[in-house]
Chain A
Amino acid sequence: MIKPTIVVVGNGMVGYKFCEKLVNKSSDFRIIVFGEEPRHAYDRVHLSEYFNGKTAEDLSLSSRSWYEEHDILLHLGDPVQEINRSAKTVHSLMGVTYSYDFLVLATGSSAFVPDIPGVEKEGVFVYRTIEDLELIKAYASNVKTGAVMGGGLLGLEAAKALMDLGIEETHVIEFAPRLMPRQIDSAGSTMLQSKLKELGLSLHLNKSTSHVGGENKIEALHFNDESVLSVDMLVISAGIRPRDELARLSGLQIGTRGGIVVNEKMQTSDEAIFAIGECALYEGMIYGLVAPGYEMADIVAAQITGISKLFYGYDMSTKLKLIGVDVASFGDAFVTEPDCRTIVFEDTHKGIYKRINISIDGKYLLGGILIGDADAYNILLQTVNNKLILPPNPEDLILGTRGGAENEGAGVMSLPDDALICSCEAVNKATICSSVIDLGITNIDGIKKCTKAGTGCGGCIPLVKDLIAGTMKANGQYIKNVICEHFDYSRQELFDLVKINKLKNYDLVLDHFGKGDGCEVCKPVVASIMSSLWNDVIVKQDTIQDSNDRFLANIQKGGTYSVVPRIPGGEITPDKLIVLGQVAKRYNLYTKITGGQRIDLFGAHVNDLPAIWEELIDAGFESGHAYGKALRTVKSCVGSTWCRFGLHDSVSFAIEIEERYKGVRAPHKIKGGVSGCVRECAEAQAKDFGIIATEKGWNLYVCGNGGSKPQHGQLLATDIDKETLVKYLDRFLMFYIKTAEPLSRTATWLNKMDGGLSYLKNVVVNDSLGLAGQLEEEMQALVNTYHCEWKEVVDNPDLRKRFTHFVNAPEEKDPTVKFDPMRDQVKAKW
């Protein structure tokens, strides 16, 4: 049997989606695709991400192999030139001819370029394809000012792209009196304008452009009100125009303002020809979003495979982040009184505007607009689409419940089973919930793989996550973070068990609460717990320590170690500096200043470590615990003793704090900082705890982090004195030590904490758990039992003996260790 042939004209997102939908429904068709662009279908919705580092490859939706796998014949860079409807054939630019049984037009749209004199000048672009973006990128490298014509959704995206390209001055020109006129009202626009201005965008509303000035290339925009704006480049984003020229040429019915007219089956005036996506005109409307395009693709795939499914228009609700500002519009956003009742919340301080329109009887939500904070978008949209009955105080929907009983009914679990969760892929609530219950999928990646939900615009991902969690909870499942196969406890549980049972030895802990022989995961966890509880000399149980803790030094490339003595607050005398230099020279060590204001000596043989430390300790140094999950450094600026801006003596305070917490072991390393004024030269807000001098005392920040995911510290207490600050720090650190998961920094710990900063504040400042006294005592016990670990080793011949490479030849160093010279020092050779 010869398979019926489907020819698809257009290989954009919707054309691609059609192929995907069709091959999923049936393999009884021969599919031929023509694409004008040279690339495979790519994600146009996230086009602007091309400018912040995404490549064309990242944006690609499919690969050649996908087409091959499904026997789809792909002609890229070859647009269809002619349709012969009576012969049912298409003819391409390259001269290929195919006959078709069904033809699907997914020709999309092009940028609408208004007929303004001068738009042909050099430096004027449209914003539509990767090729457009490449041209913009190349041109933007030499320009200082740029403008975007059009203040709609795409125009603002384009403006963001110009800013990302480093253009110093970016302007947006809009003909209408407000931004995004299709999505938001004028109050919302006002809020959006002020937010965008803050971010450095210049906005010009009510402006109609008369011509583009300049010799050969653009130099200025001239407006009808006689004003002039000089710019080096212009990106036109004044709307889209359906690509209907091929259909027009073939005599298909076209709307008066463009667009291929289709019926509810997506059929054009020729019943063998369908049109989908942005080229299709349904009941006088072009649907310029991807989700309705996908829906149309599904309808045509259904029609062809004999399933009856019709198009009834589409919800044009949308949520996006524009230049960092949330903007959402859903349901009937513009309906006004007396046809509805409107609740508006406006906060010009934070730049938030929310409007909801509710039915006259107060029962249903009709639609609304969210600017600045669109967290509630998904649930509001669901409330509209599923006609959920509103709570008695509908303002709670945008303001949150303010005291009183929580409204149980507002959660995701109250949605009906057929509630559409992912509109791009048409996945409903029941599908997601059953993936969790029946297939045991418990994470978003699994859901994406199995249902495709969240793989389109990604807007529904928070909702999907809530659904996974809600379903698991309803199902009586919960995820417990156990340490490893040997301990069926979380770190916090084991911490309490070790404490209550006063266990001081790993094997005892394993006998009491674990199974098997332990491993490289649970051994250091238990070691850390025991250290945080009892503060014994850790090398007495050296084989449960991670390698760095076992040898009290950081293992480096080649198997040598680095040595980091403590330099509290980064303050050091010239005499001590000389000793460091002498020791480094004697043992041929590479020296470098660390980020924590101390000096690291690299390349020490394990055999040499005790002798090196003996010399350092004689000179008054102590272990710096650079090898441990422990307090590292408290960085300081020079403070009021020398700095003319300094308010208080930050160095003395940093030393005091570092001396207090030195040696304290924790689930992960801890870093601190103290700055003497608001200029913050110690970068204290990037530390696990940061202390900044104020006129009246000190501010305490907590849970900051540098590293791969930098995060600013959050303000825990303001204008407090030193004594109070130390108390809070005791409580904060001890609470972290007792409750965090293994290898979790304070930032991650806080991010996962239920209630977040306000909960932490309650525990530490307001003593909501009644634990403050206990936490302070526990910390004081650790402070009182401090010992320099290296002094213990240096003074103990048995412990010293362990620092050898060959136990049968203790004097001999590892002969495989080699160094190369570099800039008058050495580096590891391996």
Chain B
Amino acid sequence: METTTAIEWILACHTNDVPENGGACVKLGEEQIAIYNFTRRGEWYATQNLCPHKQQMVLSRGMIGSTGAHCEPKVACPFHKNTFSLISGQCLTNEEYSIKTYAVKIADGKIFIGI
């Protein structure tokens, strides 16, 4: 557990700010980060909010879900339905793209993003 000490945890928002099985966007400094409340799996994820395909700040508004035999969690960009793994950030529909993912920690109803 030593690695966790290297991560800086920043308070993003409250758990009830993010809709169930959906996403919301937070502003951390100048960065826009999308946080996903995967209620169905009891999991939280965070990625950059920018979709690299057409440079749109929209990923937090996309639908989430999973794919494949291992139920890889993913988000679909609302613009052209490119999907990205919430774990690796790799685009699942177009090899050229990938997005940044962030660690998420929940404590006392608060969401912290690891930078």
> Which residues of A approach B to under 8 Å, CB–CB?
485-486, 507, 516-520, 522-524, 542-544, 546-548, 550-551, 555, 557-559, 802, 805-809, 812, 814, 816-817, 830
Contact yes or no, A812 B27, CB < 8 A: yes
List the B side residues contacting A557 at CB < 8 Å. 56
B65 touches A547 (CB 8 A): no
> What 1/0 flags go to B57-73 for Cβ under 8 Å of A?
11001111111100101
B52 at the interface (CB under 8 A from A): no
Which chain A residues lie closer than 8 Å to B55 at the CB level?
830
Chain A residues, Cβ within 8 Å of B67: 485, 516, 519
> Which residue in B12, B20, B57 is a CB contact (below 8 Å) of A559?
B57
Residues of B within 8 A of A551 (CB): 61
Q: Once the chains are docked, how many angstroms separate the CA of A522 from the CA of B32?
A: 28
Contact residues in B for A517 (Cβ distance below 8 Å): 38, 40-41, 64-66, 71, 73
| A543–B57 CB distance below 8 A | no
Chain A nearest CB from B82 CB (Å) reads: 10
Q: Which of B24, B25, B63 is within 8 Å of A519, CB to CB? A: B63
Q: What separation, in Å, do the CA atoms of A808 and B54 have in the docked complex?
A: 25
18 A-B pairs with C-beta separation under 8 A: A486-B65, A516-B67, A517-B41, A517-B64, A517-B65, A517-B71, A519-B66, A519-B74, A523-B65, A524-B63, A547-B58, A547-B62, A548-B78, A551-B61, A807-B17, A808-B17, A812-B27, A830-B55
**Which B residues from 18 to 36 make CB contacts under 8 A with A?**
18-27, 32
From A520, A522, A523, A555, contact of B83 by CB (8 A): A520
Contacts A523-B65, A830-B54 given; indicate if A543 touches B22 (C-beta within 8 A): yes
Query: Which chain A residues border B71 with CB–CB below 8 Å?
Result: 516-517
- How far, in whole Å, are A830 and B25 apart by their CA atoms in the complex? 20
Q: Report if B46 contacts A (CB, 8 A).
A: no
Contacts of A546 in B (CB 8 A): 63, 78
Binding site for A on B (CB under 8 A): 12-13, 17-27, 32, 38, 40-41, 54-58, 61-68, 71, 73-74, 76, 78-79, 81, 83
Interface pair B25/A543, CB less than 8 Å apart: no
Instruction: Give the distance in Å from the alpha carbon of A558 to the alpha carbon of B17 in the complex.
Output: 24
> Are A543 and B40 closer than 8 Å at their CB atoms?
no
Residue of A nearest to B81 (CB): A520
Chain A residues touching B, majority SS:
loop
Chain B residues whose CB sits within 8 angstroms of the CB of A542 once the complex forms: 19, 22
Distance of B15 from chain A, by nearest CB (Å)? 11
B18: which A residues are within 8 A, CB to CB? 807
By a CB distance below 8 angstroms, the chain A residues around B68 are 485
- Say whether B21 contacts A807, CB under 8 Å: no
- What residue of chain B has the Cβ atom nearest to residue A520's Cβ? B76
> Cβ of B56: which chain A residues have Cβ within 8 Å of it?
557-559, 830
Select the residue from B65, B78, B81 with max chain A CB neighbours within 10 A: B65
**Cβ contact within 8 Å between B22 and A518:** no
B26 in contact with A518 (CB, 8 Å): no
**How near does chain B come to A697, taking the closest CB pair, in angstroms?**
45
Chain A residues with CB under 8 Å of B64's CB are: 517, 543
CA distance A808 to B63 in the complex (A): 20
A703→B82 CA distance, assembly (Å):
31
| B residues near A558, Cβ cutoff 8 Å | 56
A550 touches B61 (CB 8 A): yes
Q: Given A542-B22, A555-B78, A808-B17, A519 and B65 touching (CB < 8 A)?
A: yes
CA distance A507 to B62 in the complex (A): 18
What's the Cα separation between A516 and B67 when bound, in Å? 8
Chain A residues contacting B54 (CB-CB under 8 Å) are: 830
User: How many contacts A-B (CB < 8 Å)?
Assistant: 95
Complex Cα gap A117–B67 (Å): 76
Residues in A neighbouring B79, C-beta threshold 8 A: 555
Is B57 within 8 A of A520, CB to CB?
no
List the A residue with the shortest CB-CB distance to B23.
A543
Q: Is there an interface contact between A559 and B63, defined as CB atoms closer than 8 Å?
A: no
Complex Cα spacing A544 to B19, Å: 11
Chain B residues within an 8 Å CB radius of A507: 21, 40
- Min CB–CB distance B74 → chain A (angstroms): 7
B63, A544: Cβ atoms closer than 8 Å: yes
CA distance A551 to B21 in the complex (A): 16
A485, A516, A517, A816: residue with the most chain B Cβ atoms closer than 10 Å: A517
Q: Which 6 A/B pairs are nearest by Cβ-Cβ distance?
A: A543-B22, A547-B78, A519-B65, A520-B76, A517-B66, A807-B17
Flag if A544 contacts B13 (CB, 8 Å): no
Instruction: Tell me how far the C-beta of B111 lies from the nearest C-beta in chain A, rounded to whole angstroms.
Output: 9
Q: Give the chain B neighbours of A816 by CB distance below 8 A.
A: 32, 57
Task: Please tell me if the beta carbons of B20 and A543 are within 8 angstroms of each other in the complex.
Answer: yes
**Max count, chain B CB within 10 A of own CB: residue among A507, A543, A550:** A543
B65: nearest residue on chain A (CB-CB)? A519
Question: Beyond A555-B79, A807-B18: 19 further Cβ-contacts under 8 Å?
Answer: A486-B65, A517-B66, A517-B73, A518-B65, A519-B74, A520-B65, A520-B81, A543-B23, A543-B63, A547-B58, A548-B78, A557-B56, A558-B56, A559-B56, A805-B25, A806-B32, A808-B13, A808-B26, A830-B55
Q: Is the CB of A543 within 8 A of B21?
A: yes
How far does the Cβ of A21 sit from chain B's closest Cβ, in whole Å? 39
Neighbour of A520 across the interface among B41, B58, B62, CB < 8 A: B62
- Give Cα distance in the complex from A550 to B18, angstroms: 14
Contact, CB under 8 Å: B57 / A814: yes
Q: What's the minimum C-beta distance from B76 to chain A, rounded to whole angstroms?
A: 4
Q: Which of chain A's residues have a CB closer than 8 A to the CB of B65?
A: 486, 516-520, 522-523
What residues of B have a CB within 8 angstroms of the CB of A808 in the complex? 12-13, 17, 26-27
CA distance A518 to B71 in the complex (A): 10
CB distance from B67 to the nearest CB of A (A): 6
Cβ contacts under 8 Å, B13 to chain A: 807-808
CB distance from A386 to the nearest CB of B (A): 48
Across-interface contacts of B81 in A (CB, < 8 A): 520
What residues of chain A lie closer than 8 Å to B41, measured between beta carbons?
517
From B25, B73, B78, give the contact of A807 (CB < 8 A). B25
Give Cα A516–Cα B65 distance, bound, in whole angstroms: 8
Residues of B within 8 A of A485 (CB): 67-68
A contact residues around B73 at 8 Å (CB): 517
In the assembled complex, the Cα of A816 lies from the Cα of B55 at a distance in Å of: 10
Complex CA–CA separation, A809 to B12 (angstroms): 10
Q: How far is the CB of A524 from chain B (nearest CB, A)?
A: 8
Interface-centre pick from A519, A802, A809, A812 (highest chain B CB count, 10 A): A519
A58 to B8, CA, bound (A): 59
Contact B26 A544 (CB under 8 A): no
Chain B residues, CB < 8 A from A548 = 78
Q: Which residue of A lies closest to B40 (CB)?
A: A517
Please, how many angstroms separate the alpha-carbon atoms of A814 and B38 in the complex?
Answer: 24
Cα separation A809 to B27 with both chains bound (whole Å)? 7
Residue from B18, B40, B61 having most chain A Cβ neighbours under 10 A: B61
For A527, the closest partner residue in chain B by CB is: B63
Residue on A nearest B21 in the bound complex, by CB: A543
Chain A minimum-CB-distance residue to B55: A830
**Residues on the A chain within 8 Å of B78, using CB:** 546-548, 555
**Separation of A814 and B66 alpha carbons in the complex (Å):** 28
| A547 surroundings in chain B (CB, below 8 A) | 58, 61-63, 78
Q: Tell me if B58 and A559 are in contact (CB < 8 A).
A: yes
* Least distance between B35 CB and chain A CB atoms (Å): 8
| B71 smallest CB distance to A (angstroms) | 5
CA distance A616 to B57 in the complex (A): 27
Residue of B nearest to A606 (CB): B61
Instruction: Tell me the bound Cα distance from A516 to B21 in angstroms.
Output: 13
* CA A555 to CA B55, docked complex, whole Å: 14
CB distance from B113 to the nearest CB of A (A): 11
Contacts of B58 in A (CB 8 A): 547, 555, 559
Asked whether, in the complex, the Cβ of A807 is within 8 Å of the Cβ of B62, the reply is: no
The CA-CA distance from A548 to B81 in the complex, in Å, is 13
CA–CA, A519 and B13, complex, Å: 26
Q: Does B25 contact A802, Cβ atoms closer than 8 Å?
A: no
Question: B38 — which chain A residues lie within 8 A by C-beta?
Answer: 517
User: Which of chain A's residues has its CB closest to B56's CB?
Assistant: A559
